[in-house]
Chains A and B, each alone.
Chain A
Amino acid sequence: GNSVTQMEGPVTLSEEAFLTINCTYTATGYPSLFWYVQYPGEGLQLLLKATKADDKGSNKGFEATYRKETTSFHLEKGSVQVSDSAVYFCALSDRGGGSEKLVFGKGTKLTVNP
């Protein structure tokens, strides 16, 4: 079945450091790929997405490129801020039963220190 594997956390960085969170996937067909962010005590928010190979999703300084050849969708940001501290989830879409279901990775907790 479809699955998502993302790097184990937690990740702790200093402000203005470079961030990479690795995500690889296994899927049949051509799924869409997503990064969601969850701030403490809140629900998930869509951060960015890519719907086909070589697409780059970007938002709030974060970027991720859909790499079909390596089945990856790594999240990057050039300079993190304290406000980026959150849990980040990689996900893929899995269409079935007339509904677009999401398969999530386990999440990576990021803490950014001033």
Chain B
Amino acid sequence: SQTIHQWPATLVQPVGSPLSLECTVEGTSNPNLYWYRQAAGRGLQLLFYSVGIGQISSEVPQNLSASRPQDRQFILSSKKLLLSDSGFYLCAWSAPGTGRWNEQFFGPGTRLTVL
């Protein structure tokens, strides 16, 4: 069966510090991968998605970036965090070309607090 992991689960960082959040998927190949941010009272916002290694599409201009160095690994980064980067970050995957191509499966999330 497929599983998705995110770490760390929680993170408290000072303003101006760097960030690296990691997401890995097991039990599937060539998934589409997604990063979302959930801010209080604002629903989920798609930040980045990737259809393959090294292929990143950005949905919202900001000081965050994403990379996909391996097929099942997706990393969210920042060089300098802002207070507004605080939120709950969710990674998700989907399986294109299968019967469940339009479903997304979410990880447990990372709670980021920028102080």
Contacts and interface: CB of A to CB of B under 8 A. Distances in A.
A43 B5 CA distance: 11
A105 B101 CA distance: 21
Consensus secondary structure, chain A interface: strand
Interface centre among A42, A43, A46, A107 (most CB of B within 10 A): A43
A44 interface: yes
Interface string B75-115: 00000000000000010101010000111111111000000
A52 to B, nearest CB: 11
A45 B107 CA distance: 9
B105 A89 contact: no
Contact of A107 (B43, B96, B106, B109): B43
B43 A105 contact: yes
A106 B90 contact: no
B34 to A, nearest CB: 8
B32 interface: yes
Interface stretch (A17-25, A78-86, A95-103): A95-103
Contact of B49 (A89, A101, A105): A101
Nearest to A105: B43
A99 B105 CA distance: 14
Interface of A: 32, 34, 36, 42-46, 49, 51, 89, 93, 97-107
